[in-house]
């Protein structure tokens, strides 16, 4: 029986490719989409569902897809924390929720679509500060892939076109994110936050993404 992993998946190009790669290695992904609404558009969960459906057919594996509300978490971060740190703090929050969800589904690791240096916030220092929030191993199958390589795989597996559809994943991404976060500074930013309460609220409201979101054309 394949070991389960919780795969954090957005509406972008990278994370669907990460699902495909870890499934090829014999792991069983359980997809968790962190729903950023109202800081993202209504189409993002649909894009996630379409791409997972395509990967599921390609690898001949049923993949469960869940949605966790994340908008309230983002609002709390934006209200209490320094804006350059929002991306790092957001990912730490997502890891906490993913760890709690992993216990529920019996998963042994968290999977992300992060690629070193792919965006300004994905530096080694930031990844280290973010990883500290997870008690489970974080698998990053795209870590050393460049943008062209990732896009090539996305086109091959049929997820690229859906991923580049118009829309936005997060409207409060800082213009100048911190690129050398230290754990000390990150923990200082988190002090005013009711972390346990926010995580519990997200976990309480995790639901399967409804397949009714898809049209016949999807």
- Sheet containing 207-208, strands listed edge to edge, beginning at the edge strand earlier in sequence: 138-139, 110-111, 4-8, 28-35, 65-69, 207-208
DSSP 8-state assignment for residue 12 = S
For helices 183-190 and 86-105, angle between their N-to-C axes, nearest 10 degrees: 80
Q: What torsion, rounded to 10 degrees, do the Cα atoms 93, 95, 101, 106 define? A: -160
DSSP 8-state assignment for residue 44 = H
**Residue in the structure block whose two tokens are 């994340």:** 70
Per-residue model confidence as pLDDT tens for the chain (218 residues) = 789 999 999 989 999 999 999 999 999 999 999 998 877 778 888 899 999 999 999 999 999 999 999 999 999 998 999 999 999 999 999 999 999 999 999 999 999 999 987 676 789 999 999 999 999 999 999 999 999 999 999 999 999 999 998 776 666 777 788 899 999 999 999 999 999 999 999 999 999 987 545 554 55
Please report the pLDDT score of residue 117 as a whole number: 78
- Work out how many domains the chain is built from and give that number: 1
Nearest alpha-carbon partner for 183 in 135, 142, 130, 147 = 130
**CATH code of the domain in which 80 resides:** 3.40.50.620
Q: Is residue 68 part of a domain?
A: yes
Please report the pLDDT score of residue 214 as a whole number: 53
Q: Is residue 214 part of a domain?
A: no
Q: Is residue 132 part of a domain?
A: yes
Please report the pLDDT score of residue 173 as a whole number: 74
Please report the pLDDT score of residue 218 as a whole number: 52
Q: Is residue 170 part of a domain?
A: yes
User: What are the two backbone dihedrals, phi and then psi, of residue 8, each rounded to the nearest 5 degrees?
Assistant: -80, 120
Please report the pLDDT score of residue 216 as a whole number: 47
Q: Is residue 123 part of a domain?
A: yes
Q: Is residue 115 part of a domain?
A: yes
**What are 5's strand-pairing partners?**
29
Q: Is residue 147 part of a domain?
A: yes
Sign of CA dihedral 62, 65, 209, 197: positive
Cβ burial of 26 (10 Å; 0-12, 13-18, 19+) is: exposed
- The rounded distance, in Å, linking the Cα atoms of 159 and 162 is 6
DSSP 8-state assignment for residue 28 = E
Please report the pLDDT score of residue 41 as a whole number: 75
- Full residue range of the structural domain in which residue 79 is found: 4-209
Q: Is residue 216 part of a domain?
A: no
């Amino acid at each position: 029986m394949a070991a389960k992993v919780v795969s954090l998946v957005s509406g972008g190009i990278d994370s669907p490719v990460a699902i495909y790669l870890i499934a090829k290695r014999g792991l069983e992904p359980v997809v968790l989409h962190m729903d950023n609404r109202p800081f993202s558009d209504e189409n993002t969960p649909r894009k996630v569902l379409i791409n997972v459906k395509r990967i599921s057919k390609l690898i001949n594996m049923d993949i469960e897809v869940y949605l966790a509300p994340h908008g309230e978490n983002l609002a709390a971060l934006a209200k209490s924390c320094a804006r350059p740190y929002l991306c790092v703090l957001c990912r730490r929050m997502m890891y906490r929720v993913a760890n709690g969800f992993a216990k529920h589904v019996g998963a042994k690791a968290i999977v992300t679509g992060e690629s070193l240096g792919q965006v300004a916030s994905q530096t080694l220092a930031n990844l280290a500060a973010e990883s500290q929030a997870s008690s489970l191993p974080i698998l990053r199958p795209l870590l050393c892939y460049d943008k062209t390589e990732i896009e090539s795989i996305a086109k091959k597996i049929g997820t690229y076109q859906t991923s580049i559809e118009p829309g936005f994943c997060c409207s409060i991404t800082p213009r100048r994110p911190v690129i050398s976060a230290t754990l000390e500074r990150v923990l200082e930013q988190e002090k005013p936050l009711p972390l346990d309460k926010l995580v519990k609220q997200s976990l309480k409201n995790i639901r399967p993404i409804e397949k009714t979101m898809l049209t016949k054309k999807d």
